[in-house]
Amino acid sequence: MHNPVSRMSFWWRPLMLALAIGLAARVLAIGMPAGRGWMLFAAGLAIYLTYHLYQLARLSNWLDGTERPVLSGDGIWGDVLYRLEKLLRARQGEQQKTAADLEQMLEATRSLPDGVVILDTGNRIVWFNEAAERLLGLSPRRDFGQFILYLLRNSRFGEWLQAEDLARTLTLDSPSAQGHTLSLQIVPLPRQQKMLVARDITELARVETMRRDFVANVSHELRTPITVILGFLEAFEDMPESDPREFRKHIPLMREQSDRIRRLVDDLLTLAKLESEPDTRDETVDMVALATRLADEAETLSQGRHQISLALDSRARLIGNGQELYSALANLVINAVRYTPDGGRVGIRWAMTESGAAGFSVTDSGEGIEAQHIPRLTERFYRVDRGRSRASGGTGLGLAIVKHVLQRHQARLRIESTVGKGSTFCAQFPAERVIPETTATIDQV
């Protein structure tokens, strides 16, 4: 805010200077003819006016020019030019700050993972970011100023955009990123413009699909044994007279179906527990003792129908949760025994690598698995052969449990299989979880 005193002096100084010129002319005209004094006064005013016109011309040229060097002047013009330059510097600073803020905002918008498209009142494209190029197939070379309905030719999208229902989103397959699902939303902007936001919800859609499949699979897996048990109970209820011998004849099948339900519930509870606890409770796990225990259990499960071998190439121990590791590795051993025909071989091995990592592997001489099935084996309820899996007593959750347990131990499951020759499932643990203690190879049969 300007000082009132300075503002007053700004306007009075030219008037005082003009009066001083008139007074000086009057003093100089003493003793001269009357007209001579007024001529001197007029000449002084002309010189004064010429000076101001020159300064005004300088200011006009300075304002019209693209380059504006620093102006200087005397008297009142010095004050005016100083204030003008100060005001201009302040405005330039504000403009530079505004431009920098705008560029920062645009850069942040360009880097958003969501696609952003600015549309005018006629749904022409004004601006879009890099994500919109990737998700919607737009091109900065050809699509600015184009109608977006010409570029995204989809009847559902056209109806949704014309409706301008801000509360409703539209789910659409990406026209350019194959296999991706988008969620579109409209956001109003000033000057009757609007912003189209495209969000990639492929992973959310996949999780939702998995959830629906999971519920459907659980329902399907439970329906069969429950139907069998209910069928027997209804039959017994309809019998006019109870026959203990007839009842006992069906008990083994009812027990088998009940055990199937119990195993399924146990596996579901195990998965729920693994997912609800983000971290594992670590302890030192004696892998030699664990591998020996699993080999003994394999012998019991096989009942002499397979050749079970154990190779201990190391006495290294692991840092991990013993109960979780037992559950995961037991699944690998049980699957090998169940899916290997009678007379086949099942080999269990615990060994270290040169890098300090360690692996627990189970090799069988079963039928093998085709390559296209291997990436999906750890999905819940995924089965290569549904009939054979149910006949073996599997729930379809064993390898999903293995995957979760290994992930909690920063480990991974490597699967190698050849159709007609057998498979190898190897749980590979990183060196950070291995306590090395090598020893000579020990073979047990």
Q: What is the 3-state secondary structure (H, E, C) of 7-70?
A: HHHHHHHHHHHHHHHHHHHHHHCCCCCHHHHHHHHHHHHHHHHHHHHHHHHHHHHHHHCCCCCC
Q: Which two tokens stand for residue 139?
A: 């091109």
Least confident of 170-179, 385-394, 414-423: 385-394
Q: Who contacts 197 (Cβ-Cβ below 8 Å, separation ≥6)?
A: 114, 115, 116, 184, 185, 186, 187
Mean local confidence (pLDDT), 332-358: 92
pLDDT per position as a tens digit, 274-284: 777 767 788 99
Q: Given the structure tokens 């559950």, which residue do they identify?
A: 327
Phi, psi angles (nearest 5°) of residue 116? -125, 125
pLDDT of the residue at 18: 61
- What the chain holds in terms of domains, given with CATH numbers, is 4-106 (no CATH), 112-200 (3.30.450.20), 208-276 (1.10.287.130), 283-444 (3.30.565.10)
The residue type of 61 is N
Average pLDDT on 200-228 reads 78
Cα-based angle 364, 367, 368 (whole degrees, multiple of 5): 75
pLDDT for 26 beyond 60: no
Q: State the pairing for strand pair 170-173/307-314.
A: unpaired
CA distance linking residue 155 with residue 253, whole number of Å: 56
Strands (E), 294-421: 307-314, 317-320, 345-352, 358-364, 412-418
332 has a pLDDT exceeding 90: yes
pLDDT tens sequence across 125-182: 998 888 888 899 898 888 888 898 888 888 888 888 888 787 889 998 888 888 889 9
What mean pLDDT do residues 307-317 have?
93
User: Distance between CA 81 and CA 63 in Å, rounded?
Assistant: 12
Tell me the pLDDT band of 442, cut-offs 50, 70 and 90: very low
Encode pLDDT of 233-273 as tens digits.
Answer: 777 777 777 667 767 777 788 887 888 788 778 877 877 77
Asked if 413 contacts 378 with a C-beta cutoff of 8 angstroms, the reply is: yes
